[in-house]
Amino acid sequence: MRRSGVTFAVTIALVLLADQLTKAAVRSAIPFGRSIPILGGLAFLTHAENTGGAFSILTGTPWLFVAVSSTLIVAALIWFVVKRPTDLLLVLGLGLLIGGAAGNLVDRVTFGYVTDFLDVRIWPVFNVADSGVVVGTGLIVLASVLADLRASRESHRSDGADDPPTGAS
């Protein structure tokens, strides 16, 4: 559990730190609404502000997202402490999810909006925290599916399904 706890805490801290540092750099270096091409124009750094959620849904309700993010963070932390998971995918997924939620929560509380800047033009502009939430959620789902498969396989084995057939020939 100790190793899982360290991995969990370090993941949260790294995502939160990377998110806040990149957002601060964008706010100080790129005027609001401006785009700078990167990767030969395959992507852009675009300074955007989002007062809503993913895809700008419920724009203008930062208080709602403060409440939802706070609840998610507290619930995930309590779950981690109570369940004490050791599966690396699950621990990383929870750390990414909480770090990302915390990064956007800091923005909402501090500014009333989230700073977004990663722009691939075929998707809404996003940030490091958003990536943490999405990748973290994906890892949690993957860890759950793999755990279910392992449990099913173990259950199948304990039923004797893998035993060779017996009987007279």
Measured CA distances, 152 to 24, 27, 87 (Å): 47, 50, 17
Task: Tell me how far apart the alpha carbons of residues 50 and 117 are, in angstroms, rounded to a whole number.
Answer: 10
Measured CA distances, 156 to 93, 126, 144, 159, 165 (Å): 28, 44, 18, 5, 15
Helix (H) or strand (E) run with residue 88 in it: helix 88-111
Residue at token pair 């190793």: 3
Which of 148, 130, 7, 5 is CA-nearest to residue 80?
A: 5
Catalytic residue numbers read 116, 130
Provide the terminal-to-terminal Cα distance of the chain, rounded to the nearest Å: 52
